[in-house]
Amino acid sequence: MASQVIAYDSTLRDGAQAQGVSFTVEDKLKIVERLDELGVGYIEAGNPGSNPKDLEFFERVGALKLKNSKIIAFGSTRKVGVNAADDNNLKSLLRANTGAVAIFGKSWDYQVTDILRTTLQENLNMIGDTIAFLKQQGKEVVFDAEHFYDGYKANADYAMQTLQAAAHAGADVLCLCDTNGGTFPNEIFEITQKVVARFPKVQVGIHCHNDCEMAVANSVAAVQAGATQVQGTINGIGERCGNANLCSIIPNLQLKLGLSCIPQENIATLTAAARFVSDVANMTFNDKAPYVGNDAFSHKGGMHIDAVSKNPISYEHINPAQVGNVRHILVSEVAGRSALLSKIHEVDASLGKDSADTRRILEHIKALEHEGYQFESAEGSVQLLVRRDLGKFRPFFAFKEYQVSIHEPAINGVNSSASIKLLVNGQEEVMSSEGDGPVNALDKAMRRALERFYPAIKEVRLTDYKVRVLDSDRATAAKVRVLIESADHHESWTTTGVSTDVVDASWRAMIDAIEYKLMRDQERVSSSEQAVAI
């Protein structure tokens, strides 16, 4: 293995082929800047010959001052029977004005004869002519050998001939593609090793798809066999089952194998980059993702938590901070006192695991979870519960009552109204509002009632809302659990509510969300005042 492996990102091209993903030009520019900050070597940003949006992107991306990344335009070899200089796709690639281009061509004889419907020799000519033409234009050229591994297994000699044609024409990189995602790691290793030996003076890359859920393993196997460029996407997004996930590949190579993939100081930004791309793509973030997922370093079982509190290596393969993630100790009925103690110590560090207060709070949590509450994903509600049970929480307002009404059909997007009565600083506040649904109307009414007392509530925004039916056998009379994720410019937090009424469950979660915000602001002010006093 070489000590340096180049990370090549295809989120904006191959990732954009994922179902439900549609990047605007502004989205793509934002992601380019974030990937450059992460430190990937190449950003394959689109096919300028395929659509006007990509053409506009390439016109604008040149204005960005990138520090680490080269932008790559992507396209195919010349068409059958067309001169490279006359090929419209290649003309578009040149108009993209990037220093590097990626060209894909067929390496499986079946694809040549049955899909392209041309001769094996003409395909070799297409590869060679295209790359030679682009090299004459001063371009750095990555040749993506499409279906290489399937092609090699079907006709090894011809698959190698396609690489030879590319190398002879001056390709800078021969990237071997597991396009159908069906190859196993041992096959990837053996075939890649043969390619590396055959072309010692040309850089070899790897491009894997995840149809057998082996894309990351296959990419690592290729690197172990001598590949020095690894292609993938952030969060593994892509067509069908997705592409190789760079958020797993990069730390596997860098933290596990000791290879240089991105600047060492940047790997701690990996989690933030993964979540940023997920937000821009408007995709639900995978909490179970290795390294960067919210659950990647979460511990719930009592024995596990006890061991982790003594030494994290007992159940963690790396320090989460290395990739910018954090450890989560989940509070639940199976977590035991060790998990709860970490939350209690955030409020009162003097309490021990066997104290009466600790036992009482744990029993309270168990009783609530028996009713349907789930606190492992609602740390905001846990913080409030602990403070309330320890008598260390001063309510910022008292809830008196609310009423909601729904009227259909909606008029101008409004179909509900709500009125609430709160007691704030001894003063009764009654407020009404309309909204798109009863929960939205309640949220607006509560904010209107509280904002004149606590203007910082304006900073709170709802970032996620989940409803789970708890006992479906009771049909529409079933209990529901609501989880609300909120955020301000400091942090994000999740709160929960349970009721047989989805509006009431939402209301309980909303109250906790606002009280958590006010509590945290109060704590920040106190900390600042203490710092000034010191």
Supply the DSSP symbol for 355.
S
Q: Write down the pLDDT at residue 146.
A: 97
Q: What is the tens place of the pLDDT at every residue in 233-282?
A: 999 999 999 999 999 999 999 999 999 999 999 999 999 999 889 888 87
Query: How does DSSP assign 64-108, residue by residue?
Result: S--SS-EEEEEEEPPPTT--GGG-HHHHHHHHTT-SEEEEEEE-S
Angle between helices 270-280 and 25-38 (to 10 degrees): 170
pLDDT exceeds 80 at position 289: yes
- What's the Cα-to-Cα distance from 284 to each of 147, 280, 408, rounded to whole Å? 30, 11, 31
Q: Which residues contact 88 (CB under 8 A, 6 or more apart)?
A: 49
**398-411/414-424 β-pairing:** antiparallel
Of residues 177 and 354, more confidence is placed in 177
Q: Which two tokens stand for residue 449?
A: 């009632």
Q: How far apart are CA 524 and CA 43, in angstroms?
A: 40
pLDDT band per the 50, 70, 90 thresholds, residue 366: confident
Mean pLDDT of the chain: 90
For 293-312, give one letter per residue: b (16+ CB within 10 A) or e: bbbbbbbbbbebbbbbbeeb
Q: How far apart are CA 486 and CA 482, in angstroms?
A: 13
pLDDT exceeds 90 at position 140: yes
- What's the Cα-to-Cα distance from 381 to each of 261, 325, 373, 504, 516, rounded to whole Å? 40, 22, 10, 16, 8
Q: Write down the pLDDT at residue 518.
A: 93
Angle between helices 52-61 and 88-95 (to 10 degrees): 30
pLDDT exceeds 90 at position 477: no
User: What mean pLDDT do residues 17-38 have?
Assistant: 94
Minimum mean pLDDT range among 54-63, 173-182, 205-214: 54-63
User: What mean pLDDT do residues 82-103 have?
Assistant: 95
pLDDT exceeds 80 at position 365: no
Domains and CATH numbers, the chain: 6-280 (3.20.20.70), 298-389 (no CATH), 398-533 (3.30.160.270)
- What's the Cα-to-Cα distance from 113 to each of 58, 117, 124, 144, 359, rounded to whole Å? 34, 4, 12, 19, 73
The closest of 404, 430, 434, 423 to 501, measured between CA atoms, is: 404
pLDDT exceeds 60 at position 16: yes
pLDDT band per the 50, 70, 90 thresholds, residue 449: very high
The closest of 230, 156, 154 to 198, measured between CA atoms, is: 156
Q: What is the tens place of the pLDDT at every residue in 303-346?
A: 776 788 788 888 899 999 999 998 876 665 555 555 566 667 77
Q: What is the tens place of the pLDDT at every residue in 380-432?
A: 888 888 888 888 888 999 999 999 999 888 777 789 999 999 999 889 999 99
Q: Write down the pLDDT at residue 121.
A: 98
User: What mean pLDDT do residues 84-99 have?
Assistant: 94
The closest of 126, 229, 129, 232 to 172, measured between CA atoms, is: 229
Locus of tokens 């982790």? 308
pLDDT exceeds 90 at position 294: no
| Phi and psi, residue 504, nearest 5° | -65, -40
pLDDT exceeds 90 at position 72: yes
pLDDT exceeds 90 at position 231: yes
User: What mean pLDDT do residues 185-196 have?
Assistant: 98
Q: What is the tens place of the pLDDT at every residue in 484-504?
A: 988 887 778 889 899 989 999
Q: Write down the pLDDT at residue 526.
A: 73
